[in-house]
Amino acid sequence: MTTNLSTPAAYSGEAADRARVGEPGALSRFREILVQTHDLDWIDKTLDGLSHKMLWRDDETGASIALVRFRKGAGIPSRHAHASNQFMFCLKGRYTYVPTGITLTEGAFYWNPKGSEHGPTHADEESVLLEIYDGPHYPAQPDWYDDPADAR
């Protein structure tokens, strides 16, 4: 049955290669994908104290799913908005949106609608969040990132 096949995207980990069906390259499709997040390395971003594990990305739309980790005391330094909806689920820690006092703790789900200004933020303790964007992250590269890849 081929009704549950997905077009290629940037899946992390070795499982994506084992899940390919059909011809190699653009003609291939994926079946079910399993990513063992414990096997992926945390990749540091150019903002001190922030790292991520990219789980999936659609390069055409900019949509993505990643684990992000803020070390204690780290955070996003200034007010900003996103070019798409941002969804975050807190897996661990305590992560606060300073102006509003909204604090994500284990099990909290947060939705930041497209264009809504928020931040700065602060990790009151090491925090790990599942972060999902339904399109591109930012309308322009934020000044807190030195590398344009960090804003994707």
How far is the C-alpha of 38 from the C-alpha of 127, rounded, in Å? Answer: 16
Pair 14, 79 in one domain: no
Identify the CATH number of the domain in which residue 65 sits: 2.60.120.10
The structure tokens 């290629």 sit at 8
Structurally, how many domains does the chain consist of? 2
Containing structural domain, residue 58: 41-151
Q: pTM for the complete prediction?
A: 0.81
Same domain, 91 and 131: yes
**How far is the CA of 33 from the CAs of 1, 21, 115, in angstroms?**
16, 12, 32
Q: What is the pLDDT of residues 8-32, one digit of tens each?
A: 555 555 555 555 566 655 556 666 7
HSE on the CB side for 146, CA within 13 Å? 6
pLDDT score of 25:
57
Per DSSP, 42 falls in state: P
